[in-house]
Structure 1
């Protein structure tokens, strides 16, 4: 059993960002269009698990760079708080490492949260924003206290992850479908399930996300939610939402699109939290239409 293979046309290499060996996946048509940096979700996620072949489709029109965030996938696990501001600072260093003046920035879930933080704190480097079922826009959620307790008991969370992925494809597939509200059963291929299982067996699996959660809960309302700061976002912004998302209510995505200065929302249905996997064709079409618009 191996991790997801790198799709044909995608280059995989390591770069050094803030002293951290970072795995990046790139497609470059060399056409001079503003590059797009995509940030994956949390938990047992990684760039290929989040975006897969969508990198190839998006890369037909523009340069696309998708890193494994620090603490995830094949990127090093550094000593860090793994806070959202820390990740935003790391992304800013990634942009500088490539020598870009401005980029289009997109992210799913945790990656969407980091993307919005970047748009708030570093508007000069972000041309357009795509936040896909983003974290940080929901102030309260189901089982909030349970999530906080688990985040503060990382040993238990790690054992839970190990147990979950040890059960094999069937239970992992069922768990993903239930927890993420997946509506496209064919999206949960054996290769994708195997990649999640491999991610769950990495030495530091889940630890970075648990640290991010501890930071968020410890920072109080301003840690869990950046809603009060959304009006500071000046970049043109697209919020992509899944109607059936069980983690980020669609109403919160609609509200976020109205709070930023130049926002729009597109709701895909039926579609759950893992939008890029659940509705890949529609997702790519929406991103291209938004990023190509004058």
Structure 2
């Protein structure tokens, strides 16, 4: 674990694997932290890749920027981190909100992208209903904290059957959510409520793209992944069976197999 000051925030991150390996930058979603990627870090570094996993500002051990943090802010933080590490180009991947940050990174820093991994995410702009929901949820988290929310959504973050079938995974995911600073979560929700439409960006991507989705994801279902695939016809689409919104945690061996095969072609 290392920390550095980037763009006015203290960002904690891990930079593991050989320095000469293919750089892979993995971006967690809301309301998690970089440890979400532990199964992937183990597999990728074993295969000789260099894996960078930051805690986004407001999450994990990184400092909180209260108020509102746009997806563009997160993307620029990532570019600054790559600069600090001397990495010119990387495969950039993210899950859920992390996938939207990845698309924003492609929009703002396309020359830094060697490949994209989009897991359980959505490309269209936020809807009016979605903006209202996210801002109200931000208010709730600031007022009540994370505990009640975490227990409410665990059966959607994981496929509901995996909550009982995989108690260790469920406990790990719950712990991440409950430990998140409500101020950081709320700031990200307010920023995400203003997210732009990424479909035009995706239609122009010429780098390799891997799209992954859990077969039973209720937040961003398979149809969302298929819509992205239609925008990026040269992309690879992998549906992970017996998984929900976090297939990298629920079915790490299947997720890692798809990821390692993709990285072999980058």
Do they fold alike, i.e. is TM over 0.5? yes
Structure-2 residue corresponding to 1:25:
14
Assess, with a 3 A threshold, how the Cα gap between structure 1 residues 157 and 13 changes in structure 2: closer, same or farther: same
Q: How does 1:44-193 map to 2 (within 5 A)?
A: 45-48=32-35, 50-61=36-47, 62-79=49-66, 81-137=68-124, 145=129, 148-149=132-133, 151-152=135-136, 154-164=138-148, 172=151, 175-184=153-162, 185-189=164-168, 193=171
CA displacement, residues 150-207 of structure 1 (integer Å, 9 cap, x when unaligned)? 5246342334444427xxxxx93x74124542543444417x62663465255x32x3
Unaligned runs of 5+ in 1: 1-11, 166-170
Q: Which deviates the most, 233-242 or 151-160?
A: 151-160
Aligned residues: 264
Q: Is the 8 A contact 2:123 2:228 kept in 1?
A: no
Specify the SS of the correspondent of 1:234: coil
2:65–2:187: 8 Å Cα contact kept in structure 1? no
Q: CA deviation at 1:236?
A: 1.0
| Contact 2:106-2:201 at 8 Å conserved across structures | no
**Using the alignment, how far apart are the partners of 1:83 and 1:111 within structure 2?**
12
Whether 1:212 and 2:212 are equivalent positions in the alignment is: no
Hey, what's the Cα distance between the residues in 2 that align with 1:91 and 1:288? 22
Q: 8 Å contact 2:65–2:184 — kept in the other structure?
A: no
Q: 1:280: which partner in 2?
A: 252
**Residue of structure 1 in register with 2:236 after alignment:** 264
Structure 2 length-normalised TM: 0.87
- Tell me if structure 2 keeps the 8 A contact 1:133–1:242: yes
Which moved further from structure 2: 155-164 or 272-281? 155-164
- Aligned pair 1:227/2:199, yes or no? yes
Give the SS at the match of 1:287.
Answer: helix
Q: CA separation in 2, counterparts of 1:129 and 1:89?
A: 16
Q: What are the ranges of 5 or more consecutive residues in structure 2 without an aligned counterpart?
A: none
Q: TM-score, normalised by structure 1?
A: 0.79
The SS at the match of 2:15 is: strand
175 and 291 in structure 1: CA distance in 2 versus 1, 3 angstrom threshold: same
Mapped to 2, the partners of 1:188 and 1:145 lie a distance apart of 33
Distance in 2 (CA, whole Å) between partners of 1:146 and 1:27 is 37
| Distance (whole Å) between structure 2 residues aligned to residue 136 and residue 208 of structure 1 | 23
